[in-house]
Structure 1
Amino acid sequence: MPDNADIADYASPPCFMHELTPDFRAPAADVPVDVVRWRKAERARLIEARLALSADERQVRSERIAGLLDLVIGKFSGRILGAYWPFRGEPDLRNWAIRAMERGGRIALPVVVEKGRPLEYRLWAPGDPLERGVWNILVPVRGEVVRPDVTIAPVVGFDAGHYRLGYGGGFFDRTLAVLPASTLKIGVGYAESRIPTIYPQSHDIPMDVIVTD
């Protein structure tokens, strides 16, 4: 499968949240601006760290994650698995997705259809046409729109409460909010992505489980 194009990282402004204790909770009026600044800086740090890993190292770690995903998911046959196309050093689970289909599962990829709306999942199989979407990520050109039974979301960072630090667009949180409660929500990332807290806010939705290498 073709690789997606590299996207340049951008520097973040300095912030002072690193001076706070992990259990810090500021007054409600002060939290949003501080958290936004801290998350932006932490996001840049974590992405830079994973991009510093060699391609070979990322592949080895991705296979470890894939093996653990098999254990967490268990049954594949007849289930729709919401996967993703790797971006900016994320774990590459494309080979795992092929194996999942060979075991009777179906793969759906997320598509940004409009700012401020949940992601749309479209069924995908090898050979189906792809096009560049938001952030230059490859997405299915067409395909049946479905609701996955299992949603696998890459994390930039995560904490002990299974809260996920993403890219800041809010797409996955909006998506998780509308998925049925029965949907198995799995976050995947490298072990170094764990942080004491992401300072979860009211719109943040925890994953059921986080799988790392």
Structure 2
Amino acid sequence: MADMHGNSPKTLRQELLKQRKEFAAGNNYAPASGAIITSLNTFLENEGAYLKAIALYWPIQDELDLRPALIEWSNQSADRQLALPFARPDKQLDFYRWATGDSLIPNQHGVPEPDPNNPNRPAISPECILIPCVGWSRSELNGKSRYWRFGYGGGYFDRTLSVLRKKNPKLICIGIGFGWQKLNGNQWTAQNHDEPLDKLLTESGLHH
């Protein structure tokens, strides 16, 4: 992969998105994405058995498509709900219930979103949120690993997680990424306002 030493976050983000596009078109994408889906399915069979509401994302810009696995999970019980994020003007996210076939509205960034005015699709509080990573990093504190998400730069998820974690300390936030997206301290370091991930899912498994 290209050397991204000392670049600004914006340049780094552009480079990572370019690499992701190339990776998605290459031969390694299918086995890597298949391994992630396998690990996701294991999580859904185990911890997912105790969850009622999972928020996913609508894939854009070569993000991994988790929808089939999650639709299958939700179809297994009438109690289970899926939700998609809606970006508010104050740069926080609300989550609205989503089902296959719902009409979605592209937001200013081109991301398809649920209609917040649809009376049949109320806002819900997810117990688990799946978040795609543009890049990710790992830090060590007192012998414990922490994982951090490098995203699109809007800060939506950090603001949202900060609020949701106060309401629900048991919230599980899982970053979705590939091994090659790992950033070192020279490339990017998490800032004070960044919210850590509870887990990181890559082709090598689910990291806590």
- For normalisation by structure 2, the TM-score amounts to 0.78
Q: Matched residues in 1 for 2:178 and 2:135: separation?
A: 9
Give the match's secondary structure for 1:164.
Answer: strand
Q: Matched residues in 2 for 1:207 and 1:103: separation?
A: 27
User: 2:20 matched to which residue of 1?
Assistant: 50
Instruction: Name which of 130, 149, 174 aligns with 1:164.
Output: 149
Contact 1:62 1:93 survives alignment (8 Å)? no
Q: Matched residues in 2 for 1:144 and 1:56: separation?
A: 41
Count of residue correspondences: 179
Identity across matched positions, percent: 30
In the TM superposition, residue 134 of structure 1 has moved relative to its aligned partner by 3.0
**Between Structure 1 and Structure 2, which shows a larger proportion of strand residues?**
2
User: 1:112 matched to which residue of 2?
Assistant: 87
Structure-2 change in CA distance of 1:61 and 1:203 (3 Å): same
Superposed CA RMSD in Å reads 2.0
Give the match's secondary structure for 1:163.
Answer: strand
In the TM superposition, residue 58 of structure 1 has moved relative to its aligned partner by 4.1
Contact 2:91 2:154 survives alignment (8 Å)? no
Instruction: Name which of 127, 138, 151 aligns with 2:129.
Output: 151
* Matching of residues 113-192 of structure 1 within 5 Å: 113-114=88-89, 116-141=90-115, 142=118, 143-160=121-138, 161-179=146-164, 180-192=168-180
* Matching of residues 48-87 of structure 1 within 5 Å: 48-53=18-23, 54=25, 58-73=29-44, 74-77=46-49, 79-87=52-60
User: 1:25 matched to which residue of 2?
Assistant: none
What amino acid is aligned across from residue 189 of structure 2 in structure 1?
A: Y
What amino acid is aligned across from residue 174 of structure 1 in structure 2?
A: R
Q: Matched residues in 1 for 2:19 and 2:97: separation?
A: 32
Q: Which runs of 5+ in 1 are unaligned?
A: 1-16, 20-36
In the TM superposition, residue 40 of structure 1 has moved relative to its aligned partner by 1.1
Contact 1:85 1:137 survives alignment (8 Å)? yes
Instruction: Name which of 169, 191, 196 aligns with 1:206.
Output: 196
Q: Matched residues in 2 for 1:58 and 1:108: separation?
A: 26
- For normalisation by structure 1, the TM-score amounts to 0.77
Higher relative contact order (CA 8 A, sep 6+): 2
User: 1:13 matched to which residue of 2?
Assistant: none
